Amino acid sequence: MRPQVLGLPRLAAIPLLWATTCHGGSTYGIGDIQWSPCTGDPDAVPGAECGFAIVPLDYFNAGAGVARIALGRYNATSSTRKGSVFVNPGGPGAPGVALATESGPFFQQLIGEEYDIIGFDPRGIGQTQPATQCYPSPAARLAFIANTVLDRGYDVAPDLNDPFNRYHLIQTQRDADGLYKSQFEICGQTMGEGLRYMGTSTVVRDIDFITTLLDGKDALINFYGLSYGSAIGQYLVNMFPERVGHVVIDGVLDAVSWATVPSYKWERTFLVYTDDVYKLFMSECAKAGPSQCALAKAVNDTGEDILARVEDFVNNLYYEPLPVPSATAPGILTNGRARGIPSHSSVYRQYLRLSASVYILNALISPTSWPDAAHDIAQALSGNGTAMLNADNEGLQETKDLERSAVSCNDARPFAPPTPQQVIDEQLYDQAHVSRFSLATVTSEPDAGCQFWPVTSLERFQGPWNRTLKNPMLIISNTLDPATPLTSGQRAQERQGNHSARLLIQDGPGHTSLALPSLCKSKAVRAYFVNDTLPAVGTICPVDASPFPNATANTQAMSQADQELLQGLVRLTDAIFG
């Protein structure tokens, strides 16, 4: 069955030279790929290479022009090379070149030294051209969203049944809809039809095309996708099932919901474990005690005690925002900002900052940030919100453009525009029955407003999602992932079937299995890539670290090889979550 797409019939064959692009005085044609030292990246590891590939802008129209996909490579260090593995950090909106140029050695420890690690900036993101540039500068985008709901988030009353709360949120949603409509009209005026080429389906075709350039026309595609990268993986295996080599999706986004369900309905199924992770944060803080966790007041504090104090503080901000005169940009700490200001997470900040609203929520994503987040929150509880608001200001300064919307809205199936009342009633249900972070997610994960997207996507894959694969894929989910729950990994495995997919569960908190290191998980991943070995059905792997230093794993009983692997995993976690 052919994928359902929007656009022209696919060309039977694509000539390698039907368009050219100029770069640095040189002319390149489709199919050209260039590598050079990463002179512009001070954090690049020795031996890393930076480059680009010239690919068709439109795989359905030979005359449309070209795209230049930014690439990073860390070459195989074994004499027995097995090919390339594309890695993607998620988002959408996060560039991926640095995963190879800065973290390539650590990924090789996980995947195997026989593989080249290939990082890439997907369509419209990072250094890839054409770029998504709806605004003339990041400062212009910053000015557009500053102090709006897209910056401050939604202020939610402690009493969800308060009629004024619903009225206030509906008014806020009206503002949000106006902002979405306006920003997408700006985008349409600036970029026009150029916005059509940024969707996930086209990214998958780029991976297919570049694999041929790197490894040959008969080479299988190898891929490791985190978070939204798991959606790329699900598109990939179902668009090109006969070309699947080794594909891992980790921290699984439900690709079917992503492609077919309006974003304001996602929280009901995406946030099912978010509050459980929040409670675990507080209980782990209590176990660590005052010497390790600033939110613990006494050695006999319970997680419930700490949670109650934090929630009282956040809820009171609804009625009395906290003045913060000493922040880098002085202002007020509001209820919406406290739920959702950016925390300590390097790679994930790169796309979470696009909305500038993710604090407590982002801390849940990265358990290694819990000690720092606890310190910042404790300061706010004592009356000093500087650290928390500075995180918001830092996020605003890092604001780029509408890269994320260019992907999520091109992927989204058209839907009837919901009224503000419909959106808020759905969110109030989720706030009451699913997660108190539901409305925080609306602005921290900026996928809303696609009913106003100004173009029709070139291609929008709609299934089928259950193709039989040439080689089975490996699916990894945490038991407590606050953003992409275990249930999404289970659904992906069920759709692909037992012959085409195997689910491995990591028993720990955080977003993706890289949030905390696990030797068991890592050895299973390596065996999959190196020996084609799948973990046994029902495998559950423990984690080998704790968010707080006083509960770290005892490495004395480990072999030297395991200690080195664990150290590499910790460095990979640090590189991704900061």
> Per-residue pLDDT tens for 105-120?
999 999 999 999 999 9
**pLDDT greater than 60 at residue 141:** yes
Greatest Cα pair distance, the chain, in angstroms, is: 71
CATH number for region 67-130+200-250+465-577 = 3.40.50.1820
Coil, strand or helix: which one is 555? Answer: coil
Which runs of E-coded beta strand occur in 96-172? Answer: 115-120
**Predicted pLDDT of residue 22:** 57
**pLDDT greater than 60 at residue 196:** yes
Phi, psi (deg, nearest 5) at residue 262: -55, 145
Q: Binning pLDDT at 50, 70 and 90, where does residue 573 land?
A: confident
Task: For 1-34, write each residue's pLDDT tens digit.
Answer: 333 333 333 333 333 334 455 555 578 899 999 9
Give span(s): CATH 3.40.50.1820, the chain.
67-130+200-250+465-577
Task: For 478-496, write each residue's pLDDT tens digit.
Answer: 999 999 999 999 999 999 9
Contacts (Cβ under 8 Å, ≥6 apart) of 505: 476, 477, 478, 479, 486, 489, 539, 540, 541
**pLDDT greater than 80 at residue 563:** yes
Task: For 240-273, write each residue's pLDDT tens digit.
Answer: 999 999 999 999 999 999 999 999 999 999 999 9
SS3 for 449-494, per residue?
CHHHCCCCCCCCCCCCCCCCCCCCEEEEEEEECCCCCHHHHHHHHH
| Residue whose token pair is 């890393």 | 48
> Cα(357)–Cα(439) distance, rounded to whole angstroms?
11
pTM of the model: 0.92
> Cα(92)–Cα(412) distance, rounded to whole angstroms?
13
Q: Binning pLDDT at 50, 70 and 90, where does residue 576 land?
A: confident
**Predicted pLDDT of residue 17:** 38
Give yes or no for a contact between 169 and 431, defined as CB atoms under 8 angstroms apart.
Answer: no
What single-letter DSSP state applies at residue 395? Answer: H
Q: Binning pLDDT at 50, 70 and 90, where does residue 146 land?
A: confident
Phi, psi (deg, nearest 5) at residue 331: -175, -145
**pLDDT greater than 90 at residue 296:** yes
Q: What do you get for the CA distance between the two ends of the chain, in Å? A: 43
The Cα-based distances of 81 to 222, 247, 568 in angstroms read 13, 17, 21
Give yes or no for a contact between 533 and 477, defined as CB atoms under 8 angstroms apart.
Answer: no
**pLDDT greater than 80 at residue 351:** no
36-74 burial by CB neighbour count: b if 16+ within 10 A, else e? eebeeeeebeeebbbbbbbbbbbbbeeebbbbbbbbbbb
Strands 33-37, 49-56: parallel, antiparallel or unpaired by DSSP? Answer: antiparallel
Tell me how long the chain is: 578
**pLDDT greater than 90 at residue 558:** no
**Predicted pLDDT of residue 205:** 98
The mean of the pLDDT values for the chain is: 90
Task: For 48-94, write each residue's pLDDT tens digit.
Answer: 999 999 999 999 998 999 999 999 999 999 999 999 999 999 989 88
Contacts (Cβ under 8 Å, ≥6 apart) of 482: 271, 273, 274, 277, 278, 361, 364, 365, 437, 509, 510, 511
